[in-house]
Amino acid sequence: MKETEETAKRAEQAFLIGVRDQEVPEAEAESLLRELGSLASTLGAVVVGSMTVPLREKHAALLLGSGKADEICAAAKAAMADSIIFDRSLSPVQQRNWERLTGLSVYDRSELIIKIFASRAQTREASLQVELASLQYSLPRLSHSYEDLNRQRGGRYGTKGAGEQKIELDRRGISDRIRDIKDELEIVRKSRSTQRKRRERETVPRAAIVGYTNAGKSSLLNALSKADVLAEDKLFATLDPTTRRLSGKYGDLLLTDTVGFVRNLPHGLIEAFKATLEEAAAADLLIHVLDAADPESEKHWTTTNEVLASIGADVSGCVVVYNKVDKLEDRTSLAFLARRHERVVFTSVKTGEGIQELREAIALALGGKREEVNLRIPPHRYDLVAMLYAQGAVISEEHDGQAYVIRCSLTERLRPKVEEFISEPLG
Ligand SMILES: Nc1nc2c(ncn2[C@@H]2O[C@H](COP(=O)(O)OP(=O)(O)O)[C@@H](O)[C@H]2O)c(=O)[nH]1
Ligand SMILES: [Mg+2]
């Protein structure tokens, strides 16, 4: 029992296996492996080692030859790994064989992605999409592995309805479940407006960080909140773990890290991905992070915007961030990029360059959507005055004998709350 508790507290230690073959040359295999590492850390795992192996012919039992398999097994154990994650699809049989061989939890890229989606799904729709994807895409593997993970780690993963229940389902039960999910999805989609109403009640502006996995989204979120002492104290338990609250001269803001885009996302996962992204992407401001040193970043820019547009996100006025500029030997291309985007910041989390500029760009972009007004608030509604102060919206306060006369700067979110007390709009 004690041992289980300790395992549950410790982060999963993952050993990653990249695979190169005729279709995936060395350089691409390495970059896919880096992406896999970033995905693993998104799930909260710690990467304790990795290896890229050549695949000349596929072996039915273990994908790789038994000599390579033994080598991987030894390396993973030496690194004290709890799990081995393959960058290539494993069949259910191969997965089982690997687990028998190593005694560790073994899974592949697709399953890792589904686990991330499951852990990030905030809405009913997203949870359903993730469950649907997991049932359709790789059920035998998943059911087996969720069961395994739940046993090993006290049910930390897939706890949002995507995992546990379906283990008991037989094949017929599964197709029934798929039909039920599709029915429920229809209903949930129709009631989307309810979710939107809930969001409108939030008063703090929200910004979401989007972009490809490995661009540095989580690093930037950390860097931005670290520079802000207040942010640490304000890590409210009610916020989901990917959201931080920042404070600044323009008032508070919530900054959300989203599930990153993934290269070659399996088709069956696209809807689940969009649903997971949707809630965050409805933010007041999008911060689009790109890897300045990645030759593919131009392509990533286009794909990201296309997907965001398809889920109805507002990509206009977004803050574009080219991160990892420390990796560039030649910076001449940045001048071109600077002209190309309306709001662009060049950053390096590694050196700290541009982080302050980014904070200002975010504040400015959000501030641009503010409106200055005069309010006359009666004494019995002092709660509204207090709320405006809490939001950092108050510019000046006076009392004219009957009411509080407040000059303030309103966000789109705040406006409806105090609308009836607006006495005169200011220029
Ligand atoms: N050289 C360099 N590496 C960075 C920078 N920002 C992030 N990284 C690294 O890039 C990898 C991916 O970062 P992460 O924040 O996990 O990316 P995410 O997947 O977009 O959240 C990590 O190994 C980071 O340490 C940067 O500005 N410069
Ligand atoms: Mg991340």
128 or 202: whose pLDDT is higher? 128
With 0-12 CB in 10 A as exposed, 13-18 as middle and 19+ as buried, what is 331?
exposed
The minimum-distance atom of ligand 1 relative to the CA of 222 is 15
* pLDDT: which is higher, 192 or 5: 192
Inter-residue contact 264 to 88 (CB < 8 Å):
no
Q: Rounded to whole angstroms, how far apart are CA atoms 230 and 251?
A: 12
342 touches 335 (CB < 8 A)? no
Distance CA 60, CA 100 (A): 15
Q: Is the pLDDT of residue 64 over 60?
A: yes
Q: Given this chain, do its domains 2-114 and 202-367 carry the same CATH topology?
A: yes
Sheet holding 285-291, edge to edge: 243-248, 251-257, 206-211, 285-291, 319-323, 344-346
User: Closest-lying ligand to the alpha carbon of 261?
Assistant: 1
Residue 382's H or E segment, with its range, is helix 382-390
Structure tokens that stand for 271 in this block: 């809807």
The CATH number for 202-367, chosen from 3.40.50.300, 3.40.50.720, 1.20.120.80, 3.40.630.30, is 3.40.50.300
Specify the ligand 1 atom closest to the Cα of 209: 20
Rounded Cα distance between 227 and 246, Å, is 9
Average pLDDT estimate for 216-225:
91
User: How does DSSP assign 153-195, residue by residue?
Assistant: HTS-TTTTTTSGGGGG--HHHHHHHHHHHHHHHHHHHHTHHHH
CATH of 2-114, one of 3.40.50.2300, 3.40.50.11060, 3.40.50.300, 3.10.20.30: 3.40.50.11060
Cα 309 to ligand 1 centroid, rounded to whole Å: 26
Predicted confidence (pLDDT) at residue 102 exceeds the cutoff of 70: yes
Dump pLDDT digits (tens) for 242-253: 788 887 666 678
Nearest CA among 262, 285, 126 for reference residue 208:
285
Residue nearest to atom 9 of ligand 1 (CA): 216
Q: What share of the chain in percent tops pLDDT 90? A: 42
Domain boundaries of the chain, sorted by first residue: 2-114, 115-196, 202-367, 371-425
d(CA 148, CA 9): 17
The binding-site residues of ligand 1, defined as CB within 6 angstroms of any ligand atom, are: 38, 41, 213-219, 260, 323-324, 326-327, 348-350
Query: Which pLDDT score, from 0 to 100, does residue 232 have?
Result: 43
Alpha carbon of 92 to ligand 1 centroid (Å): 32
Closest CA to 360 of 215, 228, 182, 204: 228
CATH of 371-425, one of 1.20.1740, 3.30.160, 1.10.3470, 3.30.70: 3.30.70
Ligand 1 centroid to Cα of residue 219, in Å, is 6
pLDDT at 168 over 90: no
**Whose C-alpha lies nearest to ligand 1, atom 8?**
216
The top-scoring range by mean pLDDT among 143-152, 180-189, 260-269 is 180-189
